Structure formats: C-alpha cells, structure tokens
Amino acid sequence: MRALNRLLQATRDSIHTLDILHAVRDHIGKLVGFDRFGLLVAEPRGKYCIVHEMVTKAGLNFCPPGSIMPIAGTAIEWIFCELRTHVNHDLSHKKEFLEDEPLYEDQIRSIVRVPLFKSGMAYGVMTVKSTEPNHFSEADITFLEDVGLQLSSALYVSKLVMELKLQASTDALTGVFNRRALHDIRDQQGLMDFLEEFVIDYDFEDIHSVAVLLIDLDDFKLYNDQYGHDEGDRRLVAFAQILRYATPGHQLIFRYGGDEFVVVLPNATEIQAHNIASHIRQAAYKNGDHRGQPMSVSIGVKHDAWEGLSKLIREADAAMYDNKRRRQPQQSEANLF
C-alpha cells in the first residue's frame, strides 16, 4: 500500500508518460521484479496504440517511446474487448497474438497485460514482462492490477495531450509519421525538437550526419490490380509494422506517399544504414504481409553529413529507382505473390 501511495503522489501532477514510466520503475520495480515495462495508449481512431517502454535489464530490445503499434490481432484488441487482465506465463508454450513471436525472439518469456480504464472503458494497457517463464505470482498480478488503477487517471491526461500532436503528424492508414511531419523537419534543431515533441528516445546531443532510407514496395500497383485496394491497404499496414520491428531504436519512419516510406537515421554510419536496409528486405520477404505472402522491396540508401533532409531524400529516391531497375530482371511473379 505504501508503494501505491508513493506512486500516486509521484504521478498525480504529471502529464508526461516518461515521468510515469520512471515512477513505476522506482516505486514498483523492487516489489514486482520485471525486465521490460510498457504503457500503451489508444489513439482517437482506435486503430493504433502509442507505445512507451523501458527496460531494466541490459541488452533487451524494447519499443522506443512514441512508437506506434496496430491494435488489430494483438493482445490490446483482446483486452479492449474482454476488459480484463491477460497473463501468459510462458511464451515458449503458447503464442496467442501477433506481437508474441517478436516478444519471444526478444527473450521475453512471461507477460502480464493490465487494462487501463476511464469511465468504465479501456483506453490503454500496462504491460509487465520478464525473461523468466512463470515469473509472476497471483499476488504479483493482483498488485499490478492495483497499480493499473492508480495509473489510469494520470495517464489519461497524457493521452489527451499526445493525441492532439499525433492527429496532425501521423498517416491515418499505417500509423507512422506522415509526409507533412517529414517536411516540417527543416534543420538539425528541427529534428531534435521533433524527437522531443514526440517523446522519441535518443542518446546523442548533436547530429553530425544522417542516413536516409527510401523504400518502395515492388509491383504494388500489380498487387492492387490483382487483389483490390482494400487488400493493398492491408499490405501497406503489414509492411509498416515490419518496418517498426526491423528498425529497433529507430522510430523516425514516415509514409512518403503511396507505397513509399522514408526512414531517417540520425548519426548512423553508412554501414549501419545498409545493414538496416538489408534487415528490412529480409524481414519483408520472410514475414510477408497479412496474407503471409512475401513482400519484395527496393531501397535507396543515402548517407552524408547533415545538409538538410530534402537533398538526401532526393538522392535516396534516385538510388531506390536505380536499385529497382537493377533487380527487376532477377524478380519473378513467384517471388512477389
């Protein structure tokens, strides 16, 4: 009870989700050991959640603060329907939701997902994860549900503030940032301000270079003609999700237009940028779209000292089309569909 009271005092006046994350770590982490903790809040349309996570164990991957995650097919959707806590004691034995396989690959073995309520409706989820199977006892789960009740009011205010920012800056279909948000980043300070505004985690004080990836889904028009535009939209949503998983720690993902996406990598080296591009290609082909069909992509990579994003995007676009032309003779419809 003392821990809950201290948590309530620490979060009562906060509208910043990161402050709430740190308060949970400081006041709750010693009582219920966890390796990864997250707060997921639904955006107004109810299609995506804004994710804020932190880890307490070195070496673990996590979703950087401000990440966007689709709700359909996930545990979030289940919780919003059932309005109750979901517990998986051992992911190695049972994977129920879309995010469970990536979590398992990231060493997570047990997870407690607690709904966050406002006026009787669930608007978010608190996730508590451990790398050990069967880590959470029944007493731990009950305690975490009490924590969720305490956090609900403070986090709801943070939700309202962030919603206003995201409405103007995110793509309605995929949930990644939109082209307008990309063009608003005019200089280095603009990028730093963007990272701060959307609570995106970073560990540098200055931007001395930048890499840009411009990514295009191969034969997307052909896919639309064959399966219809609704299926094409679902393919885009699936690819945006792959981009998030394939670029951990890099959440500057923008839908540039149609089936083109831009990933901005501040201070990444040229080798790192090409490695990420390779990872995206492999993940798109291996994981496939919502139908399980492999996706082939063309990627242009441009790395240089900071001179503004517009020039780098144009050069990455030219590199992407050159990459597409060189790869077309090697592709076949069997590889695409």
Three-state DSSP class for residue 216: strand
Mean per-residue pLDDT, 239-263: 87
Pick the more confident residue, 160 or 267. 267
**How would residue 164 be classed by pLDDT, with cut points 50, 70 and 90?**
low
pLDDT in tens, 220-245: 999 999 999 999 999 999 999 889 88
Residue 248 pLDDT > 70: no
Residue 86 near residue 79, CB atoms below 8 Å: yes
Tell me the CB-side half-sphere exposure of residue 232, using CA atoms within 13 A. Answer: 16
Sign of the Cα torsion 246, 108, 16, 156 reads positive
Residue ranges, CATH 3.30.70.270, the chain: 179-336
Tell me the CB-side half-sphere exposure of residue 173, using CA atoms within 13 A. Answer: 21
CATH architecture for residues 2-162: 2-Layer Sandwich (3.30)
Task: Provide the token pair at 308.
Answer: 């503004």
Residue 40 near residue 50, CB atoms below 8 Å: yes
Three-point CA angle 210, 215, 218, nearest 5°: 165
Task: Provide the token pair at 44.
Answer: 């107004």
DSSP 287-317: H--TTS----EEEEEEEEE-S-HHHHHHHHH
pLDDT in tens, 181-231: 998 888 888 888 887 777 566 667 788 889 999 999 999 999 999 999 999
Residue 332 pLDDT > 80: no
**How would residue 45 be classed by pLDDT, with cut points 50, 70 and 90?**
low
Residue 329 pLDDT > 80: no
Average pLDDT, the chain: 83
Sign of the Cα torsion 240, 248, 37, 87 reads positive
Task: Give the span between the Cα atoms of 241 and 253, in whole angstroms.
Answer: 11
Residue 59 pLDDT > 70: yes
Task: Give the span between the Cα atoms of 276 and 132, in whole angstroms.
Answer: 29
Residues with Cβ < 8 Å from 138, sequence gap 6 or more? none
Measuring CA to CA, how many Å separate 135 from each of 32, 106, 110, 125? 10, 16, 6, 19
For the beta sheet containing 86-88, the strands, ordered from the edge strand earlier in sequence to the opposite edge, are: 67-70, 48-55, 36-42, 121-130, 110-118, 86-88
Among 41, 275, 291, CA closest to 163: 41
Mean per-residue pLDDT, 323-334: 63
Pick the more confident residue, 13 or 201. 201
**How would residue 10 be classed by pLDDT, with cut points 50, 70 and 90?**
very low
Pick the more confident residue, 258 or 28. 258
pTM comes to 0.58
Residue 221 near residue 236, CB atoms below 8 Å: no
What's the confidence (pLDDT) of residue 320?
93
Least confident of 84-93, 168-177, 325-334: 325-334
Task: Provide the token pair at 114.
Answer: 């607690």
Residue ranges, CATH 3.30.450.40, the chain: 2-162
**How would residue 65 be classed by pLDDT, with cut points 50, 70 and 90?**
low
What's the confidence (pLDDT) of residue 335?
42
CATH of 179-336 among 3.30.590.10, 3.40.630.10, 3.30.70.270, 3.60.20.10: 3.30.70.270
Give the burial class of 57: count Cβ atoms within 10 A of its Cβ; 0-12 exposed, 13-18 middle, 19 or more buried.
middle
Least confident of 42-46, 83-87, 186-190, 211-215: 42-46
pLDDT in tens, 272-308: 999 999 999 999 999 888 888 999 999 999 998 877 7
Q: How many percent of the chain have pLDDT more than 70? A: 84
At position 270, the amino acid (one-letter code) is: E
